[in-house]
Amino acid sequence: MGLKNFTRDDSIFANEAVLRDSYRPERLVERDKELSEYQEALRPVINAAPPKNIFLYGQTGVGKTLATRLVLKQLLNDQCRYDDLSIEVINLNCKSASSSYQVSVDLVNQFRNTCSKIPSTGYAGSQVYQMLWNHVDDLDATHLLVVLDEIDSIGNDDDILYELPRANDNEKISDTLVGVIGISNDFTFRDNLSARVKDSLCDEEIHFPPYNANQLRNILERRAEHAFRDGVLSSDSIPLCSAFSAQESGSARQALKLLYKAGDLARTRNDPEIAEDHVRNARDTIEKGKIQEELKSLPTQSQLTLFSLLQLEAEGRAPCKRSEIYQRYQTVADQTNTDIVSDRTIHNRIGQLRLKGFIQHDERNDGIHGGSYYLYRLDIREEIIRSALKKSESRVSDLLYISS
């Protein structure tokens, strides 16, 4: 049949961009409490007092970045009413920075144009800080708010989170009052901050909890008004997307992705309506995609461990003990000409697979004499693992073809 013409007819979407992650809505729905806490924490700034430092945390997709954008936009607008204010904001996503040094270089470069940017190595840390303080002084602003989004990337190297919030107290910067807004979706990051950083960064902590199904439903309904043509959404599609996403993550990002994918499926199949079936299929497709990515990045020994449990599960032998998985693993490793590693190593692999959500375990207790032990089983549907493993282009995928 060859190539078809690209034609511009879309019976499902009115504007699909509204469902993309890059879309910037003008309102944050279902977050009144958090928004008011956020605005309260920033009140000193509008009162021309030194800012509080704010630490925002919550799982992925719960509106932290969007809330920050909207609240700061409002603050920048409202400052016009006061002659004695000149507030500046710097926004930095720290995802690709793995140290405080890199963050400070990136901050310096935010003040510089393309020709005068500094490289990410070569200067002493203290030099970079000095450049930063000079730039801030040159700003001639009354306040500077520095947003460090996804700040957990810097791990334990958290010096910048001490230096920045303390810049005024330590007399590094004189005229501009500096406030830091740190954002993280890694709960352990906050707990592991050094005591001096915790003291200075966390004047105010704002927690963004996961959304429940009702909240997700409201978020999706607002988006759907602009995204879809009239009458294409069946009455159960949004509630189902919301229920699935609330159950799995409470993330608005995930819910939007699911609704978008469901619409995409209806469009591809030329169906007039987005029905329950599209949502279920979309969920499977997304889940498979995610698992495939994860599986690809697993070391061979972990893939073999998972495959061993998959076989046991298919034979009705799971949940099973670790020793049974190890026994099966030895056979499977042998079939694929892979070195057989020790029981202890496979034990570690099982632990990692559990953390990644592939495997779950239940503790059993056989009384005083039997002692306690774990029984393992898959935590993801068999067919999804099977199809993901098939596409993983590893030795395990060869095994699957042999066994099917």
Instruction: Output b/e per residue, 197-212; b: 16+ Cβ within 10 A.
Output: bbebbbbbbbebebbe
Chosen residue from 12, 28, 107, 310 binding ligand ATP by CB under 6 A: 28
Q: For residues 116 and 332, what is the distance between their CA atoms, to the nearest angstrom?
A: 57
Give the range of 38-46, 55-63, 112-120, 334-342 binding ligand ATP by CB under 6 A.
Answer: 55-63
List the alpha helices (DSSP H) in 297-342: 300-314, 322-335
65 touches Mg ion (CB under 5 A): yes
DSSP code, position 50: P
Among all residues, whose Cβ is closest to Mg ion? 65
Site for ligand ATP in 252-291 (CB under 6 A): 252-253, 256
Chosen residue from 51, 63, 250, 263 binding ligand ATP by CB under 6 A: 63
Angle in degrees, CA 42, 45, 48, rounded to 5: 155
Q: Which does 253 bind (CB under 5 to 8 A by kind): ligand ATP, Mg ion, none?
A: ligand ATP
- Whether 90 and 139 have beta carbons less than 8 Å apart is answered as no
Q: For residues 99 and 155, what is the distance between their CA atoms, to the nearest angstrom?
A: 7
Question: Which C-beta is closer to ligand ATP: that of 256 or that of 353?
Answer: 256
Q: For residues 290 and 272, what is the distance between their CA atoms, to the nearest angstrom?
A: 28
Among all residues, whose Cβ is closest to ligand ATP? 63
Question: Which C-beta is closer to Mg ion: that of 253 or that of 391?
Answer: 253
**Tokens in use for 91?**
């926004």
- Whether 312 and 318 have beta carbons less than 8 Å apart is answered as yes
| Least distance (Å) between residue 105 CB and ligand ATP | 22
- Whether 393 and 293 have beta carbons less than 8 Å apart is answered as no
- The Cα-based distances of 361 to 111, 290, 299 in angstroms read 51, 22, 21
Question: Which C-beta is closer to ligand ATP: that of 25 or that of 125?
Answer: 25
Question: Which C-beta is closer to Mg ion: that of 144 or that of 148?
Answer: 148
| Least distance (Å) between residue 148 CB and ligand ATP | 12
250 touches ligand ATP (CB under 6 A): no
Please work out the total of residues on this chain that contact Mg ion, with binding judged by CB under 5 A: 1
Give the range of 61-69, 230-238, 264-272, 379-387 binding ligand ATP by CB under 6 A.
Answer: 61-69
**Contact residues: ligand ATP, CB under 6 A:** 21, 25, 28-31, 58, 60-66, 185, 219, 252-253, 256
